[in-house]
Amino acid sequence: MKLFFGLAAQISIVLIVAGGASAQQPQGNASMPQIQGKINCKECHTCQVPTAKEPCLKQCPTLTMTHTKSAHALVEAPDSLLIDEIADTYQAVHFNHKRHAGMAEMNDSCSVCHHYSPPGHIPPCKDCHGNETNPNNLRQPGLKGAYHRQCLSCHREWSHDTKCVVCHLPSAGRPLSATGDDSTDIVGRPHPVITTPAKKVYDTPYKEGPIVTFQHKEHIDLFGFRCVDCHHQENCSYCHDIQRPATTSKTQEQVHAVCNDCHKADACAKCHDTKERPGFSHNQTGWPLNPYHNEIDCWACHPTGKKISRISRMCVNCHAGWNQENFKHAVTGLKLDETHAQMDCTDCHADRKYDADPVCKDCHDDGRTAESAPPGIKMQHRSQ
């Protein structure tokens, strides 16, 4: 009798579970990400019937996470790693993580290697990559492939070499470090700090204006370009390729390609001139910057994400909170005397046109101007 009840209970549990599962199925489908192409369910799910409650997703949703921007800083990174999975065949590989991370900084940072770097903890390769190719997801290489692809994608690019010994030492041997003075032998050397030139002057074959002055620093400081924005597709081999011919002639199109990313619509004279040009000065725009404005970023006034253009000169355009009560005239470089400080703004600045010359003749008949007889004390600014 006991046995019978036990059995009946088990059967009913099975039925309930089965019913529940079938009821939940449609909900699960509704929240699934839209994925293009033919993908095996098993690539993301570990169980046969994933539901919304129990999606049984795998740890690494690599399909959607490839090359996501990393939110991690270099300081979090370990200095050095010991890769010793096959220590019985080769000596453990001493991977100088800090140096590689430093080089990655020149490009897309952590995500250059860590294609899956969620906030928090960056998982080590072996968390996702098993010893063998995942039979349920043949797209994902095993740990051997994962390591080698990371290392060799750069290492063979400049050396055109795939010798094992570059990383693996078969028996007791020297740790990996630079030997000799061979400039192409860059393994184990820290990358020197990359300097940013202030400007580059090019002598071009363009007759009407052979000189092109490129304000390199200006493009970084004024326009906020990152290195990769212009130096795209530059990797180790761009400088270190031992097989790259010394001089490569470029077509006119290739020469202009980088500039054309922004200056496509501009005329030749935008860059080409007969003599070297000075850098950009805000004076040229008719709005010489006062010492305060000189300090701030262009984008503090000019709208971001747009080509820089003329903006309204009204102070309230930026200083929205200024009014008669809280405005200290001294910031303009003129501290008003007591008499003038009592007056209304519009008494001197007719129609609130602050960029026009102030009007004195309403009170003074002697033909004075704000320049000849200032209505206060001119301030001495600290020099830039």
Partner 1 sequence: MGITRRDFFKLSAAGSASLMAGEALASDGAQTALNPNSLGVLVDTVACIGCRKCEWACNDANALPTQDLKAFEDKSVFARHRRPDAGAYTVVNQFSDPRDPSKKYSMKIQCMHCNRPACASACIVGALQKTPEGPVVYDAWKCIGCRYCMVACPFQIPAYEYDNALNPQVRKCTFCATRLSQEGKKPACVAICPNEALTFGKREDLLIAAHSRINASPEKYVDHVYGETEAGGTGWLYLAGADFNNTELPKLTATVIPNLTETIQHGVFKSFVPPLALYGLLGLIMHSLRAEKNGKEESRHE
Binding pattern for the stretch 3-42 against partner 1, x by CB under 8 A and - elsewhere: ---------------------------------xxxxx--
Q: Is residue 43 within 8 Å of residue 63, measured between CB atoms?
A: yes
| Dihedral of alpha carbons 166, 171, 150, 79, sign | negative
Give which of 35, 41, 107, 106 is closest to 65, Cα–Cα.
35
Task: Give 184 or 312: the residue with its C-beta nearer to partner 1.
Answer: 184
Shortest gap between Cβ of 245 and partner 1 (angstroms)? 9
Say which residue the tokens 């063979």 belong to. 156
Stretch that binds partner 1, among 147-155, 307-315, 317-325, 343-351 (CB under 8 A): 147-155
List the one residue out of 221, 217, 222, 231 whose CA is nearest residue 108: 231
Task: Candidates 142-150, 264-272, 328-336, 347-355: pick the segment binding partner 1 (CB under 8 A).
Answer: 142-150
Range 251-270, binding partner 1 (CB under 8 A): none
Number of residues in contact with partner 1 under rule CB under 8 A: 28
Q: What is the sign, positive or negative, of the torsion defined by CA atoms of 354, 357, 362, 366?
A: positive
CB of 213 to partner 1, least distance (A): 30
Quick check: 244 binds partner 1 (CB under 8 A)?
Answer: yes
> With binding defined as CB under 8 A, does residue 139 bind partner 1?
yes
Applying CB under 8 A, which part among 14-22, 149-157, 198-206, 296-304 lies near partner 1? 149-157
**SS3 call for 45:** strand
Sequence length of the chain is: 384
The token duo for 225 is 């370009």
Token code pair at residue 71: 């939110």
Query: Does residue number 231 form part of the binding site for partner 1 (CB under 8 A)?
Result: no
Dig out the tokens for 311 from the structure: 């903006």
Q: Is 107 in the site for partner 1 (CB under 8 A)?
A: no
Retrieve residue 115's tokens.
């294609």
**Of 94, 97, 99, 156, the one binding partner 1 by CB under 8 A:** 156
Rounded Cα gap, residues 162 and 136, in angstroms = 30
111 binding partner 1? (CB under 8 A): no
Does position 340 bind partner 1 by CB under 8 A?
no
SS3 17: helix
Does 232 interact with partner 1 (rule: CB under 8 A)? no
CA–CA distance from 215 to each of 60, 276, 303 (Å)?
44, 11, 22
Min. distance of Cβ 117 from partner 1 in angstroms? 17
Kindly state whether residue 144 participates in binding partner 1, applying the rule CB under 8 A.
Answer: yes
Question: Which residues contribute to the site for partner 1 (CB under 8 A)?
Answer: 36-40, 43, 63, 66, 133, 135, 137-139, 141-142, 144-146, 148-149, 152, 156, 160-164, 244
